[in-house]
Amino acid sequence: MTEQELRDEELINAAAQKLFDTYMASNHRGKLELIQKAFNFAKEAHRGVRRLSGEPYILHPIAVAQIACEEIGLGSTSICAALLHDVVEDTEYTHDDLENLFGTKVANIVEGVTKISGGIFGEKASLQAETFKKMLLSMSDDIRVILIKISDRLHNMRTLAAQRPSKQYKIAAETLYIFAPLADRLGLNRIKNELEDLSFRYEHPEEYATIVQQLHDSQMEREQTIDKFIPAIREQLDILGVHYHISARVKSPYSIWTKMQRKHIPFEEVFDILAVRIVFTPADRQHEIEDCYRIYGALTRIYKPHPARFRDWLANPKANGYQALHNTFMSHEGKWIEVQIRSDRMDEEAEGGFAAHWKYKEAHFDETELDHWLGSIREILDDPQPDTLDLLDTIKLNLFASEIHVFTPKGEIRTMPQGATVLDFAFAIHSFLGSHCMGAKVNHKLMPLSYQLKSGDQIEILTTEKQHVSPDWLNFVTTGKAKGKIQAILRRENREKQNRGEEHLRLFLTASGVAITTAVYDRLALFHELPSRQQLFMAVADGHVEPGDDDLLFLSGKKKLKGQKSGGWRRFIPFMKSSGEAPATAAAQQQSPEAKLSAIDFVKQINRKAVLVLNEDVLAHCTIAPCCSPIPGDEVLGYITRDHTLEIHRRSCAEATKHKTRHGDDIIACSWDMHHQMQFPANIHIKGVDAHGVLRAIAEVFEELPQLLVRGISISTNDGIFEGRLEVCVFDTDDCATICSRLLALKNVTLAVRLE
């Protein structure tokens, strides 16, 4: 062996021995020889292969198996499958080979994991909805498939630094969009938090580093707060004779950041960064819930509880099985501190999840919330979904939801997510009721389709044969089932309409002697300024486009593209700063079809693996995405659209997240290089106490910043509070920060933030 091979062998054997030791220290312990056999097989199968980081590839499946064993608590079957999970996909070995050597269960789990890897996020991800469906359906038979895939994704995230930036964005987005919610739904709290934080670290490295530093800088203050807060609690628990331990929990960087974004507040105003967790071992397991309430009662004798922050997840656990009592208490130093009370069993399930105790382990396992969730997934899968991401969107609606309990006319109780409407309830009962629903009697009062249900409501659905599903219904349904059924009906109707339009266009072209190809349809869509041939067929069916002589002249090259209509593509044309004058604004104007063709040519030259530098010349060929309106200083990426043009999005944009998850290979890493060459539109949200002279003071702020243009100001007042929106033109995010800080310095302004 060479020196490098000896070092590799030492690394591999050390990792494998750690796995074996972890397994032998667990409650399983029975099949070490089988695990060693799987390790030796995988080691030989992957011999000579290295990861992008340069390490031997076999270290990856060992790490995945370590996570499955140590962090999720799975047994020998899962550990073997984790060790072998890439063998079928990356080597010459087959499912039959694994079945012969390791048995049917291991081989089937490996096959399930392979389907997820190659199916959902393969080269043609948007065409793989059927594969994703199969994986989800397999979860009800063996949840270990998705648990191993979560372990696989966790290790990939821990080693993501070896990937190029555009690949990092794709993988981080998939993780936030799919795997973190799945981990949460399966009760894997520690893993969920780590997946979120790692995604945050790679998508927004500067914000991540800032929050980590702020947590470090405030650590001593938190420790002092805890040292003063806990002794009185210990005294009370000792009086009760409870066997307990107390720990402090710090909110994760990702959770802190999302709260800052959602509430437009700085780090210093996130008050629930710190929480105290009391975990006790009950003397009698049957009385652990009563013990939780006893401990809570003791705390109220020491500290004042917050009247609106009490959370009781004992009588009604969260959908993922979480049980605990939470409330926020006022310390003697005047600080609000959250306290969580759990038994040791509740704590173990909260952190590690109950998924590892699935039915394959205990035949008498009762039906759980996970059963209900998987059942709802099956209902969603009944309808065809043309796109994987649409399917994921629908399923994600089932992942997070506070629950309410409502009643049918006969008094049967139904569990619905918080925010569910009459229409959601109708589809939950039956698809026919939903598609023909015209309203409902809620507690014997007539209510519309959009009425949001409340716990305790009794609902009687009213129907009519004349009712038809409308696209507007998607605006006020919240459940995956309702959304899926509505989309399926609308898709069916759209397909019928497209077929009519295509047939009408086909007859016209055939009669005119034009050979029919998809390229012909695409050219006609461009001629009529429609984004796709499907939209062209729809327009023909609706009568908005009537094929005629102009179409034939365009196809023959005798007629040029029409001028751009409203609603077309948009870009910003840069204007250089003139000597002695304020810089002109980057004007938003419609992009002509000729410019769009130039943009398509530009995209063909992009190196997708490199970082694209956004300067004045590059932006002339790009679209600034109106959904998030990025400006220099924002963390951005490029997305190559279906029209083969380049859109620039903020990395945190919801649409960009969908693009990263749906079309990761069309994501381009980007960085700014503008140097105040061009201005961009931005919106500032402002709020404060209404007083005489406020508007003048706001105007004076901009008089002191003459280089920044104000495009519009709208302010309204109500009960002594004013709120408004400022539309400004800025060079970069530093300009926005300057505007906000100067506005906040005004006497009566309490909030000034850039709108996302």
Residues catalogued as catalytic: 89-90
Q: Is 118 exposed, middle or buried (0-12, 13-18, 19+ CB in 10 A)?
A: middle
Q: Report residue 627: phi and psi, to 5°.
A: -70, -25
Q: What is the dihedral of CA 312, 314, 316, 322, to 10 degrees?
A: 100
- Structural contact between residues 679 and 585, judged by C-beta atoms closer than 8 angstroms: yes
**Which two structure tokens, joined as six digits, stand for 567?**
């609603």
- Please answer whether residues 324 and 312 qualify as being in contact, where contact means their C-beta atoms are separated by less than 8 angstroms: no
451: tokens are 């009425």
Nearest to 438 by CA among 428, 446, 429, 448: 448
Q: What are phi and psi of 563, to 5 degrees?
A: -65, 155
Q: How far is CA 622 from CA 203, 331, 359, 532, 610, in A?
A: 22, 54, 53, 19, 17
CA dist., res. 435 & res. 468, Å (int):
7
Backbone dihedral angles phi then psi of residue 20, each to the nearest 5 degrees? -60, -45
* Alpha-carbon gap, residue 394 to 482, rounded angstroms: 9
Cβ neighbours, 10 Å, residue 305: 15
Look-up: residue for tokens 């539309």? 727
Place of tokens 């969920």: 192
User: Long-range contacts of range 492-500, CB-CB < 8 Å, 24 or more positions apart?
Assistant: 493/469, 494/538, 497/537, 497/538, 497/541, 497/542, 498/534, 498/537, 498/538, 498/541, 499/537, 500/537, 500/541
From CA 688, how far away is CA 682, in angstroms rounded?
20
Nearest to 608 by CA among 121, 167, 120, 163: 167
Residue 562: both structure tokens together: 């029409």
DSSP letter at 632 equals: B
